[in-house]
Amino acid sequence: MPPSFADEHSPVEPYRIKVVEAISLLGREERERALERAGFNPFNLLSEEVYIDLLTDSGTSAMSDRQWAGLMVGDEAYAGSRNFLRFEATVRRLTGFPHVIPAHQGRAAEHLVLSLLAHPGDVVPNNMHFDTTRTHVQRVGAKPVDLAIPEAYDCENPHPFKGDMDTDRLTRLLDDRSAAVPLVMMTLTNNTGGGQPVSLANLREVSRIAHARGIPLYLDMCRWAENAYFIRTREPGMSQRSVREIGRECFDLADGATMSAKKDGLVNIGGFVATRDAKLAARIKEELIVFEGFPTYGGLARRDLEAMAIGLEEASDERYLEHRTGQVRFLAGLLTASGVPIMAPPGGHGVYLDVRRFLPHLDARHLPGQALVVELYREGGIRAVEVGAIMFGDGEEVADQGLELVRLAIPRRVYTESHLRYVASVVRHVWERRDSVRGFTMVEAPEHLRHFTARFAPSAD
Ligand code: F0G
């Protein structure tokens, strides 16, 4: 028997490495200077200043030899490129959605769908909106509402599908205000809540509730393959079905989807909208021409469409997914063994540190998530991201509710077991001296999506 990837063994890579990129760890003083220059915001650090980059799993994947070869067969015709046809056929085959509209990344797809479907005063329910989705709903004057199940907000609860939506709350919302709900969204997996999957049972129920009132269901399908893999491995009765079959049932329950292929499309740039709604597709294409480009390239080089078609298939390969989710579980296991508090169970694309239990001496006012992110870089050159009050608080006010997490996102096919062991030991060192970690204040912030560019300073008290 080959070693199982699912036990205590570390996951064995289902690939070998053909190209490498040098990385190095700056000295402690240089890291300190880099932090000050960056206003203590990791988004302002230079890549060269980072040793292990866990800022995001988005657009940071290593492409395969097949994808790189795909770039060489780019048919760069403005209209009617054969790469578009292949891309369109792949998305149709995987999702069953007939209308496929490329876009340069996920938020462009969100912009196209939400600016056409949502209106001022509307309400858009989602299990949990990701920051860009939330912003696009707000920009049209509508209100984003998160309806995740209560377990999603409890880091210690081992519920296998914390991405599920609270269907009682959805029913109540639709009973009260269905005329104001232009679409229901479901984010697979729930990134904001820890990369937690949505069960097929829940998706069926959400689809039934929305469709009973004639409201369309759209999936934010960025991490659809990881979600389908969790359905296969965690949901009763699903283990004999393939990931693609499960994925296809998820899409069959919906009316359309927005996609950032920078995640489960294994590309560095790319995305799309897919829908059954021919009228909406026609309107989207009109907008697309204004904002992204002609419908057979949508803001991308045609070779990018080829890489995306190949990547979508590779991302739904079961050996790949076993390793991918195994890496996350492996890092989570090392951290848990050291007593480090994390969002349980580990999700699909990263390990999320539970900041409230990590730094209980810092209250929300002291931006503990940011303090932890700074400390991880200071300790070992690791770049992580706060997913909490700064990312989701509105305006200047810092939310004192919801989840307070620091995400260690794992790029796809990029880091090895020894990198993950290094990450675990850096986190452990910070954990061991957690009482010494001081708080931060925000000194500069834009109105929207402030975590990207805000600047911070150590707090005085
Ligand atoms: N939806 C979800 C669930 C996401 O996680 C992201 C991006 C988007 C939409 C937007 O896609 O970046 O291609 O425009 N998430 C990245 C992250 C940025 O780090 O989690 P995009």
Separation of 106 CA from ligand 1 center, angstroms?
A: 6
Atom number in ligand 1 closest to CA 107: 14
Q: Which residue's entry shows tokens 């490495």?
A: 17
> For residue range 110-121, what is the model confidence (pLDDT) as tens digits?
999 999 999 999
Average pLDDT over residues 288-317: 97
Q: Which residues line ligand 1 (CB under 6 A)?
A: 56, 58, 105-107, 130, 132-133, 187, 191, 220, 222, 260, 262, 271
* CATH class of the 72-314 domain in this structure: alpha beta
> For residue range 29-40, what is the model confidence (pLDDT) as tens digits?
999 999 999 999
Atom number in ligand 1 closest to CA 262: 13
Average pLDDT over residues 243-253: 98
What mean pLDDT is reported for the chain? 94
Separation of 105 CA from ligand 1 center, angstroms?
A: 8
Q: Where do you find CATH 3.90.1150.10 in the chain?
A: 28-57+318-458
| pLDDT score of 11 | 85
> For residue range 84-125, what is the model confidence (pLDDT) as tens digits?
999 999 999 999 999 999 999 999 999 999 999 999 999 999
Q: What is the pTM of this model?
A: 0.95
Q: Where do you find CATH 3.40.640.10 in the chain?
A: 72-314
pLDDT greater than 60 at residue 221: yes
In which band, very low, low, confident or very high, does the pLDDT at 446 lie, cut at 50, 70 and 90? confident
In which band, very low, low, confident or very high, does the pLDDT at 432 lie, cut at 50, 70 and 90? very high
Atom number in ligand 1 closest to CA 385: 19
Query: Ligand 1, from 104, 111, 129, 132: best to mutate by most atoms within 8 Å of Cβ?
Result: 132
- The closest residue, in CA terms, to atom 8 on ligand 1 is 106
CATH superfamily of 28-57+318-458: Aspartate Aminotransferase, domain 1 (3.90.1150.10)
Atom number in ligand 1 closest to CA 349: 20
- Per cent of the chain over pLDDT 90 is 91
